[in-house]
Amino acid sequence: MTAFRRLDKGGRIDREKSVNFTYDGKSLGGFAGDTLASALLANGKTLTSRSFKYHRPRGIMSAGVEEPNGLFAINGNEPNIPATTVDLVEGLAAQSQNAWPSVDFDLMAVNSFAAPLFQTGFYYKTFMGPFKKSWMFYEPFIRRAAGIGKGSCEKDPDRYETAHEFCDVLVVGAGPAGLTTALVAGRSGARVVLVEQDLELGGQLLSETDRDFEMWRTTQVAELRSLANVTIRTRTTAQGLYDDNLVVLLQRHENHDAARGRPRQTLISLRSKAIIFATGAIERPLVFPNNDRPGVMLASALRTYLNRFAIVPLKRALIVTNNDTAYKTAFDLAEAGIAVTMADHRNVIPSDLLSRAAMLGMAMFPGTGIADVEGAKQVTRVQLAGNHSATIECDVLAMSGGWNPVVHLTSHSGIKPVYDDAIAAFVPGGYAKNHFGAGAVTGKFGFESVIKDGNAAGADAAKAAGFDKPATPVATIGAKDRAYKISPHWAPKTTGKGKAFVDFQSDVTVKDIRTAHDEGYVAVEHLKRYTTLGMGTDQGKTSNINAIGLMAELREMPISQAGTTTFRPPYTGLAVGAIAGRTVGLHFRPYRLSPLHDANKAHGATFIEAGLWMRAWYYAWAGSTPETAYIREMELVRNGVGIADISTLGKIDVQGPDAAEFLNRVYVNGFAKLPVGRARYGVMLSDDGVVLDDGTTTRIADIHYYTTTTTAQAGEVMSWFEYLLQTQWTDLKVHVTSLTDEWAGMAVSGPKSREALQLAFPDADVSNENLPYMGCLDVHLDGVRIRILRLSFSGELAYEVHVPAEYAGSLWEHVLKVAEPLGIRPYGLEALASLRIEKGHVAGLELDHRNTLDDLGLGKIAGKEKSYVGKELRFREALQAPDRWSLVGIELMEPDKKLRGGSILFSAGDEIKGHGRGYITSVTWSTELKKFIALGLYQGGLKHEGEDIICAFPLKNEQVKARIVSPHFIDREGARLNA
Amino acid sequence: MLDRRSALASAKPYTSSVLQIGEAHGFSLLQVAGLAKAISPITGKLPVKVGLAVTSEGRTLMRTGPNQFWIIGPEVDDIETKLPEIAIITPLSHSRTRIVIEGEPARNVLAKGVPLDFHHSAFKSGTFAMTGLHHTPVLVHCVGENRFEIYALRTFAVSVYEWLTDAALEFAR
Amino acid sequence: MRIPCPHCGQRDVGEFRYGGDASKARPAHGTGDMKAWHDYYFLFDNPKGPHDEYWQHVLGCRQWFKLTRNTATNEIGEQP
Ligand SMILES: [Zn+2]
């Protein structure tokens, strides 16, 4: 069964180029220039889809982005694509959705009998009402039936890009108004971008037959293409308007090919000095019983299928309207030899239309609308009602309820649209600065007036962008506009038994809206949520205004008072892939490599992500799993000598006459008296008195310091220093610069580390006398200045060797080579972090920006007399409470079990429930104590030293016995690091 | 024995008939903070505003802050020793990796990641911008009609280079 | 949203870091006045309309500056 056929000639399709595609696996043919929708119609596919809730048969209703019915999954991976927006390309595979086993025979149509399930406010009543439990009962059924389309679980095979673009004047839409404004602005010399969602420029002109229009169109397009300062983007939809004239465009590409780097879509963030909205208007349906049968179509769409795609109804068409524009469709069809019947809600019809209709032999029914539409899988017969009741046999029923200007983009800026009685539709309620409207979006539909206004808007926009040289206006064709007349008709008074659809995609009927009204959901925003009106992928482009009109009628108030819903981006559906762009896989986020990365790799490092850094976790020499390798690496450092990459530490150059004063202010401990050539451990607080970071600072020269921060807080501390110096302490003469990338660092640790350095730097004196604990020594090797700091994170005799980054790799190899006789090996992050636990050094896991100095056992380092950032608020009552969670050491008491990070701590007698008295921050196996040890925060801290606790790990349902001990597990006197 | 190693030493080369992306290794970078009038007798006339670069005696001079300059010179440069003591000098030669992108599509490739106007009329030779590329700070210096030098942080250089060459995949041979 | 850096010009908001309310003066270093610090650190107005703010051009010149942003429209006025 079919309602349409293709003509042998005419239209804009290229009959020389046939295109093969599949529909539900069946091979079909079309032509270049077809959309999927036109190709389906040409192949006689009148019934293409099933509706969302009731699985009613549906067909293509429109020829544009407003399409509510004809949604398909394209090429197996992208659902819910309107067939009207898909260019027909060779090999395209379209799959119908929402129907099982097929659209022709859909078992889910049984939904029609289960209709009470889908009563208005179903979700509200189920979830919010007194019968919440009913959800349990209905859920399995609903899950199976609900949801439009089906996402793919496969990786998206296509490539998507994002891009930034700038211009002086952006023109959205390339109908008569868009072409005019773009050309005028282009002639003024402004950089113009013209975007059009269609594959061709012209908008409504592409559906006209008049040769004067086509001549006008081709002339303007040719000139636009000749201007170097005009960029034309077809297949490009303006999806949203944001602050500062940012418009987000989605461009769809032909010939995309991921392997060759050609994206399928590009999401462009375009910033324009001025914007012209020439977005046109969308025809709205009329609401009558069974207005959703396949073969019922918008009148303008039928005209587009006729004139652009050479598709006509099989033999007979019925057109129902409340305005003049549908007559264009009627006349063109009649001229193409189709028998046309016209039903017009209006009693008074302009005489020129009547006489032309009579001339073409059309049957006319003034003051008449539709009572019912018959036909199971496509329209067969229509019952008329009103001044005339008659039964009309027809293949296609075309409807026009008037025109809705596309006010979406202008509304994104927060300017509400306003109701214009003259056209019975909403128009932009105004324009933001440097925004302009032109054409049908302003509520003007006549060609001549559109060109005239377009010339003015184009010149205004160019001027707003700084191009005020007057440009030659675009010529009109000198025709006379006829006045647009409409008599609004929102909904039938009664709908009988047939469902009269307002929102086709969400299956919302007149009855649903009446119910919402009766139940008090009268505000437009409530109506929307209660009925799901406009909530589909089409966002109610064909339904919202009819619903508002109907609700206003029910409330007996003017439409202007009923208001509209909020328009939000995106204007049309877009692939998530387009939003992600290339921010996927390897490029999901940037990653950071230590200057020693290649060297680490060469030494068999396994890497682990730590923030953005890829850090050497453990090395192959020590084992093949982290659990075993880190223990061998720890033993190496405790007994011999190891070398670790510590280049990720934040490093800051602090210079200037007031550098000492600056550091003295930001650190809780004193730095003013630090001698040149010496380093000091320091802790800094935020203004709120909470610990911000720790690190060491070395005095290089009188007014020159070298500060290190933790890896995690490096950026934060740098910004904080800059903030203080640039906005608060502007009188201090200090300059700070990040050296994190300039200098690499390696820790040489273990009892044999001094010997290793001696071998590495034979000319330097690294003796305990010349380089004591917390000392600093600059040495030279091959003319390269290298900075050795005697610091220890592990608790052993240890050094940090800092070197300009490009030399790091060869220095690392040098040290490993010359110290080979000492058994030196690299050790990784896991061992590094575990050694410090044994020593009781706090790190990122303890410095979580919630703890005070006292919580971490560092209270005594703060200067009593000196002032420092955070001092005042450090003494807030809550931060001084005696039962705060503070740093403790934890020893496992059950040798065959293990401790786990994140375990919740309870006192031995507590009920194991809730948040406990603290938690474990860091865990390691202690190579010295031969047991699991941990650092943690515990209520009251070391006051409970020696007490038994339970460490609960609910995720694994584990509870183990442990004991609170000092966090300094080894060498409490510091004999090793002072050795 | 000690040798300089580039962050991009093991990066995959990019080849295309219309676009070149690669590293320009071997330069010195000195950051100097201080008043222009104190520094310019040694360096030559310094640019008056942030975003402008000039060439003087084989070096590129950039103003990177209100009273802060970058001096980019040959790999071995002794200008550091000649600058007045009052200036605050920070050697940064190892901190940045210089990636060059040149060719007709260079501006389009950069526009994929940088929210700046790369139109010929807006981003001209001799100007630079400190901005973000792939979420990392970069300095993009236009040194010719379609030639740009990108100073990326050394530790992000591989990530930025991979991002750029992937962005340029459509132009690759 | 675009932000005018006083040194680099109009840039995308993604290059910046927000640095808080700039309408209040940070107490002088070492005041010892807990109440003043408390009020500075914890008490904020939440105006709809113009708001003085600190921003840092963190991916650019790294300079901190003040600007007035309308919290309802994101419109940026003169530097306060
Ligand atoms: Zn800046």
Residue A125 has pLDDT above 90, yes or no: no
Of the pLDDT bands very low, low, confident and very high (cuts 50, 70, 90), residue A479 is: confident
Distance (Å, whole) CA A637 – CA A616 = 16
Cα of B81 to nearest chain C Cα, Å: 26
- The residue behind tokens 């630090």 is A674
pLDDT, residue A423, reads 95
Query: For residue range A386-406, what is the model confidence (pLDDT) as tens digits?
Result: 999 999 999 999 999 999 999
Of the pLDDT bands very low, low, confident and very high (cuts 50, 70, 90), residue A133 is: low
How close is the Cα of B154 to the center of ligand 1, in Å? 21
Q: Tokens representing A398?
A: 């075309």
Residues of B in contact with C7 (CB under 8 A): 49-50, 65-66
Query: For residue range A232-268, what is the model confidence (pLDDT) as tens digits?
Result: 999 999 999 999 999 999 999 988 899 999 999 999 9
Mean pLDDT of chain A: 93
Residues of A in contact with C6 (CB under 8 A): none
Distance (Å, whole) CA A82 – CA A70 = 6
Domain assignment of residue C31, yes or no: no
Cβ contact, residue pair A727, C54, below 8 Å:
yes
Share of chain A above pLDDT 70, in %: 95
Instruction: Give yes or no on whether B14-25+94-171 and B27-93 have one common fold.
Output: no
Residues of C in contact with B49 (CB under 8 A): 7
From A529, A516, A497, A499, select the one nearest A555 (Cα to Cα).
A516
Q: How many CB contacts within 8 angstroms connect chain A with chain B?
A: 131
Burial class (CB in 10 A: 0-12, 13-18, 19+), A376: exposed
Cβ contact, residue pair C9, B51, below 8 Å:
yes
Q: How many CB atoms lie within 10 A of CB A226?
A: 9
Cβ contact, residue pair A582, B166, below 8 Å:
yes
Cβ contact, residue pair B50, C7, below 8 Å:
yes
DSSP sequence for A321-384: ESBSTHHHHHHHHHHTT-EEEEEES-S---HHHHHHHHHTT-EEEETEEEEEEE-SSS--EEEE
Of the pLDDT bands very low, low, confident and very high (cuts 50, 70, 90), residue A126 is: low
Cβ contact, residue pair B155, A592, below 8 Å:
yes
pLDDT, residue A326, reads 97
Helices A299-307 + A326-335 axis angle, to 10: 40
- The residue behind tokens 């903070």 is B33
Q: What is the DSSP letter of A724?
A: I
Cβ contact, residue pair C56, A723, below 8 Å:
yes
By three-state DSSP, how is residue A824 classified?
Answer: coil
A-contacting chains (≥3 CB pairs under 8 Å): B, C
Q: What is the mean pLDDT of residues A52-66?
A: 92
Q: How many CB contacts within 8 angstroms connect chain A with chain C?
A: 58
Domain limits, CATH 1.10.10.1100, in chain A: 501-555
Cα of B3 to nearest chain C Cα, Å: 31
Q: Tokens representing A87?
A: 């260019």
Give the CATH number, domain containing residue C15: 3.30.2270.10
Asked if omega into B66 is within 30° of 0 (cis), the reply is no
Cβ contact, residue pair C61, B64, below 8 Å:
yes
Q: What is the mean pLDDT of residues A935-952?
A: 97
User: Do A117 and A137 meet the contact criterion of CB atoms below 8 Å apart?
Assistant: no
Query: For residue range C19-32, what is the model confidence (pLDDT) as tens digits?
Result: 999 999 999 999 99
Q: Tokens representing A671?
A: 């730095």
- Determine contact: A880 vs chain C, CB below 8 A: no
Cβ contact, residue pair A727, C33, below 8 Å:
no
Q: How many CB atoms lie within 10 A of CB A487?
A: 14
Supply φ then ψ for residue B162, to 5 degrees: -65, -40
Q: Which of A719, A726, A873 shows the shortest C-beta gap to C34?
A: A873
Q: How many CB atoms lie within 10 A of CB A731?
A: 8
Of the pLDDT bands very low, low, confident and very high (cuts 50, 70, 90), residue A97 is: confident
Domain A877-965 classification at class level: mainly beta
From A10, A15, A44, A45, select the one nearest A32 (Cα to Cα).
A15
Cα of C2 to nearest chain B Cα, Å: 10
Domain assignment of residue C29, yes or no: no
pLDDT, residue B173, reads 79
Residues around ion ligand 1, judged by CB within 5 A, are: C 5, 7-8, 57, 60-61
Q: CATH topology for A285-401? A: FAD/NAD(P)-binding domain (3.50.50)
C50-56, strands of its sheet edge to edge: C17-21, C50-56, C64-70
| A129: Cβ contacts below 8 Å, ≥ 6 apart | none
Q: What is the CATH number that goes with domain A597-647+742-827? A: 3.30.1360.120
How close is the Cα of C4 to the center of ligand 1, in Å? 8
Superfamily name with CATH number, domain A160-282+405-464:
FAD/NAD(P)-binding domain (3.50.50.60)
Distance (Å, whole) CA C19 – CA C22 = 8
Domain assignment of residue C30, yes or no: no
How close is the Cα of A164 to the center of ligand 1, in Å? 19
Residue A112 has pLDDT above 80, yes or no: no
Of the pLDDT bands very low, low, confident and very high (cuts 50, 70, 90), residue A450 is: very high
Report the chain B residue with the minimal C-alpha distance to residue A165.
Answer: B117
Q: Which helix (H) or strand (E) holds C5?
A: strand C2-5
pLDDT, residue A844, reads 86
CATH number 1.10.10.1100 given to A501-555:
yes
| C-alpha torsion A927→A932→A936→A941, nearest 10 | -90
Distance (Å, whole) CA A213 – CA A176 = 9
For an interface test with B, give the residue of C1, C58, C59 to mutate (most B CBs within 10 A).
C59
Cα of C60 to nearest chain B Cα, Å: 4
CATH architecture of residue range(s) B14-25+94-171:
2-Layer Sandwich (3.30)
Query: For residue range B85-136, what is the model confidence (pLDDT) as tens digits?
Result: 889 999 999 999 999 999 999 999 999 999 999 999 999 999 999 999 999 9
Chain centroid offset of residue A525 CA: 25
Burial class (CB in 10 A: 0-12, 13-18, 19+), A415: middle
Of the pLDDT bands very low, low, confident and very high (cuts 50, 70, 90), residue A574 is: confident
Cβ contact, residue pair B92, A742, below 8 Å:
yes
pLDDT, residue A658, reads 97
Supply φ then ψ for residue A530, to 5 degrees: -75, -35
DSSP sequence for C17-75: EEEEE-SSPPPPTT---HHHHHHHHH-----SSEEEEEEE-TTTT--EEEEEEETTT--
Of the pLDDT bands very low, low, confident and very high (cuts 50, 70, 90), residue A128 is: low
Beta strands A78-82; C17-21: pairing state:
unpaired
Domain assignment of residue C14, yes or no: yes
Domain-by-domain residue ranges, chain B? 14-25+94-171, 27-93
How many domains is chain C partitioned into structurally? 1
CATH architecture of residue range(s) A650-738:
2-Layer Sandwich (3.30)
Query: For residue range B20-77, what is the model confidence (pLDDT) as tens digits?
Result: 999 999 999 999 999 999 999 999 999 999 999 999 999 999 999 999 999 999 999 9
pLDDT, residue A674, reads 95
In angstroms, the Cα distances linking A247 to A195, A239, A275, A276, A413 are 11, 7, 9, 11, 11
Query: For residue range A151-184, what is the model confidence (pLDDT) as tens digits?
Result: 778 888 899 999 999 999 999 999 999 999 999 9
Helices A829-839 + A626-639 axis angle, to 10: 60
Distance (Å, whole) CA A72 – CA A24 = 10
Asked if omega into A101 is within 30° of 0 (cis), the reply is yes
Cβ contact, residue pair A806, B4, below 8 Å:
yes
pLDDT, residue A552, reads 94
Cα of A715 to nearest chain C Cα, Å: 10
Distance (Å, whole) CA A222 – CA A429 = 34
CATH architecture of residue range(s) B27-93:
2-Layer Sandwich (3.30)
Q: Tokens representing B50?
A: 């942030």
Beta strands A691-701; A704-709: pairing state:
antiparallel
Q: Which of C7, C15, C63 shows the shortest C-beta gap to B131?
A: C15
* Higher per-residue pLDDT: A140 or A529: A529
Q: Which of B116, B130, B132 shows the shortest C-beta gap to C61?
A: B130
From B26, B23, B22, select the one nearest B4 (Cα to Cα).
B26
Mean pLDDT of chain C: 94
Helices A753-760 + A808-818 axis angle, to 10: 110
- The ipTM (two decimal places) reads 0.98
Share of chain A above pLDDT 90, in %: 83
| A205: Cβ contacts below 8 Å, ≥ 6 apart | A175, A176, A213, A214, A216, A217
Strands in B40-95 per DSSP E? 53-56, 59-65, 68-73, 88-91
- Determine contact: A732 vs chain C, CB below 8 A: no
Q: What is the mean pLDDT of residues A510-521?
A: 92
Enter the pTM of the model. 0.93
Q: What is the mean pLDDT of residues A451-457?
A: 96
Domain assignment of residue C47, yes or no: yes
Domain limits, CATH 3.50.50.60, in chain A: 160-282+405-464, 285-401
Q: CATH topology for A1-152? A: Ubiquitin-like (UB roll) (3.10.20)
Residues of B in contact with C12 (CB under 8 A): 115
Percent composition of chain B: helix, strand, coil (DSSP 3-state, to 5):
20, 40, 40
Chain C positions with Cβ closer than 8 Å to B: 7-9, 11-12, 14-15, 57-63
Cβ contact, residue pair B132, C62, below 8 Å:
no
Distance (Å, whole) CA A820 – CA A807 = 20
Supply φ then ψ for residue B81, to 5 degrees: -75, -15
Cα of A719 to nearest chain C Cα, Å: 8
Task: Lowest mean pLDDT of A698-707, A841-850, B5-14, B115-124, name the range.
Answer: A841-850
How close is the Cα of C10 to the center of ligand 1, in Å? 9
- The residue behind tokens 């994104």 is A412
Burial class (CB in 10 A: 0-12, 13-18, 19+), A611: middle
Report the chain C residue with the minimal C-alpha distance to residue B114.
Answer: C12
Chain C positions with Cβ closer than 8 Å to A: 1-2, 17, 19, 26-27, 29-34, 36-38, 40-42, 54, 56, 58, 62-64, 66, 73-74
pLDDT, residue A51, reads 86
Residues of C in contact with A727 (CB under 8 A): 19, 54, 64, 66
Distance (Å, whole) CA B109 – CA B99 = 13
Residues of B in contact with C8 (CB under 8 A): 50-51, 129-130
End-to-end Cα separation, chain C, in angstroms: 19
From A4, A108, A116, select the one nearest A57 (Cα to Cα).
A108
- Determine contact: B48 vs chain C, CB below 8 A: no
pLDDT, residue A848, reads 87
Residue A73 has pLDDT above 80, yes or no: yes
How close is the Cα of B138 to the center of ligand 1, in Å? 12
Residue A913 has pLDDT above 80, yes or no: yes
Supply φ then ψ for residue A207, to 5 degrees: -105, 10
Q: Which helix (H) or strand (E) holds A925?
A: strand A918-926
